[in-house]
Amino acid sequence: MQATFFEQNRRAVANSVRGGVIVLSAYRGQQSQNDMAHRFQQEANFWYLTGIDHPDWLLILDTVNGDEWLVGPRIDAVHETFDGSLSAEQATVTSGIKKVISKDEATPLLRKLAKKHTVAYTVDHPPYASRFNFSMNPNISHNKKMLERTFESVIDCQKDIAKLRAIKQTPEILAIQNAVDLTVDGFNTVKAQLDSAKYEYELEAEFSYMFKRNGGWNHAYDPIIASAKNACTLHYNANTSLLRAKKLVLMDVGARVDGYAADITRTYVKGAPSKRQIAVHAAVEAAHYDIIQLLTPGLFVEEYANLVDRRMKQALLEVGLLKSTDDDETYRTYFPHAISHGLGIDVHDSLGGATQLQPGMVVTVEPGIYIPEEGIGIRIEDDILITDKGYKNLSSKLSTSLA
Ligand SMILES: [Mn+2]
């Protein structure tokens, strides 16, 4: 992405809040083992406003006069030797921010800004973070506490940025399309090798090779290669099981290209499918097709959810898993997850609390039916751009068929 992209994003977010200063922190690196860190993944909002892909940086933005600073981390000689660092010049080229200052200079600057502004905006952890089964990045709360000591009030502007991020700009759509195209190539390669592959991880390796070999890209998230009943564990990603003949294999995979994720799912069969597999797959495929047709700008999210429930219940009736459309408990047993989510820098990108679909949004459509007692788990997922007149399926080049 060009620096102008990040500059425009900063201007847009500065205009969307009512005065004050915006102070966002990059993530901190996280321990993987002993003295080794996990591969670094930047906080999405910080990246959206700066393009900086390194830990421990800080963005300070005076929304009234447009003054902006990047604060670089302290890096000692040892870490410089082992990890390198991002120079001030490189940070300016990437972000378009001319003033790059040190941590020591940041404290008096923020005190000075606090005399002029009562409000500091920042991005807090999501309100539902307590439901996650993992620890949150410490820089988010460190930054918030630092601001609370300095400013009269600290306000979460996550929603303001999410609203901007929800409407994709041309270079963002291009990046998502490139990530989708690369992922589609991976699926076509893997499908051709399915009959000769022995283990789930062999299929994962084909995707990884495809992504790395064609531009040095990585997976946007841990890929799910789930055969037979593994597919009924929704986030299964061990990918270690033997692939058995006549069993289904569900693959949920997406590359990340230029900072943007793809998120595609297909379910194939190794060898010849059974009548039951064909029937359940056909029910999901037909629902997937019909649900995509619903997407149009102005569609209320609530209305969409109701239409999806009606269509998915019909799919479950067709394959004999549901007896009555009033039986919501059974319905949610066989279709336990959401039909759609936003897609962008985050694989599960926020739509900014929108109540209606708008042109420029990119959403997934991913109906599924999961029957653990039959060893069947089927999902089909495409990535869809909402346009002025309707939608564009960015992953339509990839066949949805079972074999
Ligand atoms: Mn998805």
How many domains would you assign to the chain?
A: 2
Q: How far is the CA of 341 from the centre of ligand 1 (A)?
A: 7
Give the Cα separation of 252 and 249 in Å (integer). 10
Give tens-digit pLDDT for 240-256.
Answer: 999 999 999 999 999 99
Residue 3, pLDDT > 90, answer yes
Give tens-digit pLDDT for 349-373.
Answer: 999 999 999 999 999 999 999 999 9
Q: How far is the CA of 54 from the centre of ligand 1 (A)?
A: 27
3-class secondary structure for 11-78? HHHHHHCCCCEEEEECCCCCEEECCEECCCCCCHHHHHHHCCCCCCCEEEEECCCCCEEEECCCCCHH
CATH at 278:
3.90.230.10
Q: How far is the CA of 251 from the centre of ligand 1 (A)?
A: 11
Query: Does one domain contain both 267 and 158?
Result: no
Query: CA distances (Å), 345 to each of 150, 179, 261, in order?
Result: 31, 11, 6
Q: How far is the CA of 143 from the centre of ligand 1 (A)?
A: 31
Residue 83, pLDDT > 90, answer no
Query: Does one domain contain both 224 and 266?
Result: yes
pTM of the model: 0.96
Domain that holds residue 198: 167-393
Instruction: State residue 395 phi and psi, 5-degree precision.
Output: -110, 25
Residue 401: inside a domain: no
For residues 127-153, average pLDDT: 94
pLDDT value, residue 282: 98
Residue 216, pLDDT > 80, answer yes
What's the start-to-end Cα distance of the chain, in Å? 38
Residue 173: inside a domain: yes
Do the beta carbons of residue 139 and residue 25 sit within 8 Å?
Answer: yes
Query: Does one domain contain both 40 and 77?
Result: yes
Query: Does one domain contain both 177 and 160?
Result: no
Residue 84, pLDDT > 80, answer no
Look at residue 312 and give its three-state secondary structure: helix
For residues 163-190, average pLDDT: 98
Query: Does one domain contain both 245 and 138?
Result: no
pLDDT value, residue 41: 95
Domain boundary among 107, 138, 165: 165
CATH at 153:
3.40.350.10
**pLDDT band for position 18 (cuts 50, 70, 90):** confident
Q: How far is the CA of 226 from the centre of ligand 1 (A)?
A: 15
